[in-house]
Amino acid sequence: MATPPTNASTSTQPSLERQIGPLQATAINMTQMCGIGPFVTIPAMVATIGGPEAMFGWVIGAILALADGLIWAELGAAMPGAGGTYIYLREAFQYRTGRLMPFLFVWSAVLFIPLIMSTGIIGLVQYLGYLIPGVSGDGGNTALGKVIGIGITLLIMVALFRKIGQIGKLTTVLFAVMLVAALSTIVAAFSHFSAAQAFAFTPGAFGSHGTFWAGLGAGLIISVYDYLGYNTTAYLGAEMRDPGRTIPRSIVLSIVGIMSLYFLLQVGVLGSLPLDEVKSATSVASSVLEQAWGSTAAQVITGLIVVAAIGSVFAGLLGGSRVPYEAARDKVFLPVFAKLHPRLNLPTAGVLAMGAITMIGSLFTLTTMINAAVATLVIIQSLAQVAAIVVLRRRQPDLVRPYRQLLYPVPTIIALIGWVYIYVSAEWLSIGLSLGWIAIGCVAFLIYAKAERTWPFGPKEITETFVETARPLS
């Protein structure tokens, strides 16, 4: 029989507030998704896949993101709490392995979420190099650039120390800046557009042994990295108004919207710059803007791109800081992460810890961080959630599901195939490090389980929280 939830709703302790509406939710997702990502990875995508056929990498990545997003949509709408995946894995895997899977997720999330954010810092410093000589170089960001990156991360952390209602409004402003930067680059690209150049696909690229298929695995890692963020509102489930509708809509709308932006950006860049210049560019958007409108306009919009990148890191740390909070409240993670700021009602330790790891990650190269973050994310979040949606449909049929995955299980199967393909396409070093980190996490769990006298050293605690407490949320 299920035991009652451990966190009483009548607690007098500070609690997260439901202040984020549909517009702000979509803005949070899209701001996190389209920060610096496409502006720094378009050259890498073209170089990896081999030519203009790289534009289809964004489409295939969007299909995978949408399939996975529909998993998030069902789980997030049914279980709208702080921490997203932590809750889904806790509810799905408690019957067989107790607290192991949610523990491993938090163990990994405190690493891969800030590593993903560190790529935003690395990329924005690259674009600052267009405005400030000496900040970035051909081999990566210089010592000055790394110091500036650390300083920007500190400013973002300070900005996060405010009430969630204020954060939602600030993110909407940053979302508007992102749209202006992206749309300006698209307009500039298409003002000097050559269709013949943009669609000059490499001969034989789509053949059975063509360059497109040879580079697709590595290209999808880049593509999926750029789409990451569509799930941010699920991490903030405890702060959503009407989460059963807001979370699914924000996920689907953000993926479709960002896919449109990415595809137009890629096609526009290919049609406005020579292929070799695209492959070698460190600030490709700035090059497009300068060619179309001159250096002054390019500098202004490059500044907006930097602000959009800051907004992406801001939104990512906002959602990520909530992950260890829920786990700590369940006594599955360090108790310091369960404490909220007494006045601002935000998880202080989560913000500080993830901000610190982001600063460390910003000292490395962009491709290294992308591979390490994506490999770690896939093995313990993406693949585990594919299993979770299936398990929960069988184990908790009475769970109220405001949104049920369209065409289930087809999107779930597509997500499974896509994530496995991406994982085996990662660098061997990244795969090894991700497996090693999980192995260390398993040892840490055994130490924790022994101390807490929980499975496998004690009984399993079956707590069907959302079945027991199902009620309308507003």
Question: Residues 210-244: pLDDT tens digits?
Answer: 889 888 998 999 999 999 989 999 988 988 999 99
Residue owning tokens 């990875």: 41
> Is residue 6 scored above 80 in pLDDT?
no
The angle formed by the CA atoms of residues 310, 230 and 122, to the nearest 5 degrees, is: 30
Question: Considering the domain boundaries, does residue 120 fall inside one?
Answer: yes
Average pLDDT, the chain: 89
| pLDDT tens readout for residues 261-299 | 999 999 999 999 999 999 888 889 999 999 999 999 999
Tokens (6 digits) for 62: 């969007």
Task: Look at residue 9 in the predicted model and tell me its pLDDT.
Answer: 38
Where residue 470 falls (left for φ over 0; alpha for ψ -120 to 50; beta otherwise) is beta
Question: Considering the domain boundaries, does residue 121 fall inside one?
Answer: yes
Task: For residue 5, name the pLDDT band (cuts at 50, 70, 90).
Answer: very low
- CA distances to 39, 108, 325 from 437, rounded to whole Å, are 30, 8, 21
Task: Look at residue 209 in the predicted model and tell me its pLDDT.
Answer: 79
User: Phi then psi for 144, rounded to 5 degrees?
Assistant: -60, -45
Question: Considering the domain boundaries, does residue 463 fall inside one?
Answer: no
> Is residue 312 scored above 90 in pLDDT?
no
Q: What is the dihedral of CA 100, 102, 103, 109, to 10 degrees?
A: 140
If you average pLDDT over each of 154-163, 362-371, 443-452, which comes out highest? 443-452
Range 138-142 average pLDDT: 73
CB 16 within 8 A of CB 321: no
Task: Look at residue 469 in the predicted model and tell me its pLDDT.
Answer: 62
Burial 21-50 (b: 16+ CB within 10 A, else e): bbebbbbbbbbbbbbbbbbbbbbbbbbbbb
Among 182, 226, 157, CA closest to 370: 226
Task: For residue 319, name the pLDDT band (cuts at 50, 70, 90).
Answer: confident
Pairing, β 140-141 against β 136-137: antiparallel
Amino acid at 122: I
CB 467 within 8 A of CB 396: yes
More confident of the two residues 398 and 471 = 398
Question: Considering the domain boundaries, does residue 442 fall inside one?
Answer: no
The angle formed by the CA atoms of residues 80, 85 and 91, to the nearest 5 degrees, is: 75
Range 57-61 average pLDDT: 92
Task: Look at residue 8 in the predicted model and tell me its pLDDT.
Answer: 39
Residue owning tokens 């120390």: 161
Task: Look at residue 141 in the predicted model and tell me its pLDDT.
Answer: 79
| pLDDT tens readout for residues 392-446 | 999 999 999 999 999 999 999 999 999 999 999 988 988 998 999 999 999 999 9
Q: How many domains are contained in the chain? A: 1
Q: Which 3 state secondary structure label does DSSP give 141?
A: strand
Q: How many helices (H) and strands (E) does the chain have?
A: 21, 2
Task: Look at residue 1 in the predicted model and tell me its pLDDT.
Answer: 42
More confident of the two residues 17 and 161 = 161
Q: Which domain does 289 fall in, by range?
A: 22-435
Residue owning tokens 């949606």: 389
Exposed / middle / buried, residue 363 (Cβ in 10 Å: 0-12, 13-18, 19+): middle
> Is residue 474 scored above 50 in pLDDT?
no
Looking at residue 1, the DSSP 8-state letter turns out to be -
Range 293-310 average pLDDT: 92
> Is residue 337 scored above 60 in pLDDT?
yes
If you average pLDDT over each of 47-56, 148-157, 164-173, 461-470, which comes out highest? 148-157
The H-or-E segment that residue 137 falls in is strand 136-137
CB 20 within 8 A of CB 28: yes
Task: For residue 114, name the pLDDT band (cuts at 50, 70, 90).
Answer: very high
Lowest mean pLDDT among 4-8, 67-71, 257-261, 415-419: 4-8
Peptide bond into 52 cis (omega under 30): no
CB 246 within 8 A of CB 25: yes
Q: Which 3 state secondary structure label does DSSP give 340?
A: strand
Range 334-353 average pLDDT: 89
Question: Considering the domain boundaries, does residue 139 fall inside one?
Answer: yes
> Is residue 109 scored above 60 in pLDDT?
yes
For residue 469, how many other CB atoms are within 10 A of its CB?
Answer: 11
CATH of the domain at 246: 1.20.1740.10
> Is residue 3 scored above 60 in pLDDT?
no
More confident of the two residues 106 and 167 = 106
